[in-house]
Amino acid sequence: MKTEKDNNPISGYLMIFVVVVLFFGSILLLAATKFPMFALGIVASLILCPGFFFVNPNGSRVLVLFGDYKGTVKKNGFFWVNPFYVKKKISLRARNFDSERVKVNDKVGNPILIGVILVWQVEDTFKAAFEVDNYENFVRVQSDAAVRKLAGQYPYDNFEDGDAEMTLRSGLDEVNHALEENLTQRLDIAGIKVIEARIGYLAYASEIASAMLRRQQATAIVAARHKIVEGAVSMVEMALEQLSEKQIIDLDEERKAAMVSNLMVVLCADKDVTPIVNSGTLNH
């Protein structure tokens, strides 16, 4: 398989001098001698003109002669080559591709919307020009395929245990690294270098977004309640220990149970509790 090779063309400034001299010299000789052969010099100068071209910074020209690859010019400047060369322009600049949001299913089957941001540039002009039909379209199609494959490897989120496995939301660094490696393998055939690849958009699909939002809210409430109950039990335990150690009051099991019940209601209630002052004795 062929690979990219450099082509060192002739300076365009030198050749333009040659062409101008040939053109006007042929005209003067033809006018002075009336000899028709000097007209060939005029024709030759016109034939040489298509050989001139420019190469801008971070640009290149792939040269092909009747189907035969003759090399790539990456050097900046004004040049001349065989006028029969086909000169295909390929940019070497870094490009940014923001894919459309595609609807796919994650690892557990939930429909999600996901998009990718890709920064890429052409590294091998031979592959970009000849190994694929259209390298820009190839980047778009392969990016879409890589995103779909990535989404099927990870769940969107894990409500039961955030540390149980890698998810698209919690493991962005690892997920982006996997996406970059996948795209690098896919785009290598086209001579494309992946500079950076990351998830640019991630959300549940509209048909399940509201349900998943309620689930997230419920999960957050359960987690908060768990912390509240855990703290309330600790505070009740501490209160009973302090009362016992300082011998402030001697409570039997029934009164301890009542005290624990009241404290748990006060500490775990959603709203402020209205206190009731007992103006009688402890027995009433």
Sheet harboring 68-73: ordered strands across?
Answer: 68-73, 59-65, 86-91
> Could you tell me where the DSSP H helices lie in 55-116?
none
- CATH assignment of the domain containing 124: 3.30.479.30
161 — pLDDT class (breaks 50, 70, 90): very low
Q: Does 209 reside within a domain?
A: no
Q: Does 4 reside within a domain?
A: no
**Pair (171, 234) in one structural domain:** no
The tens digit of pLDDT for each residue in 61-109 reads 999 999 899 999 999 999 999 999 999 999 999 999 988 888 888 887 7
**Pair (182, 255) in one structural domain:** no
The tens digit of pLDDT for each residue in 10-53 reads 999 999 999 999 989 988 888 888 788 888 888 998 999 999 99
> For position 71, what pLDDT does the model report?
93
Distance CA 183, CA 254 (A): 69
Residues spanned by the domain of 111: 95-204
C-alpha separations of 32 from 28, 29, 38, 52, 133 in Å: 6, 5, 10, 30, 54
Give the rounded percent of residues in the chain with a pLDDT score beyond 90: 40
Distance CA 52, CA 63 (A): 12
Verdict on whether the full-model pTM lies above 0.75? no
> For position 281, what pLDDT does the model report?
55
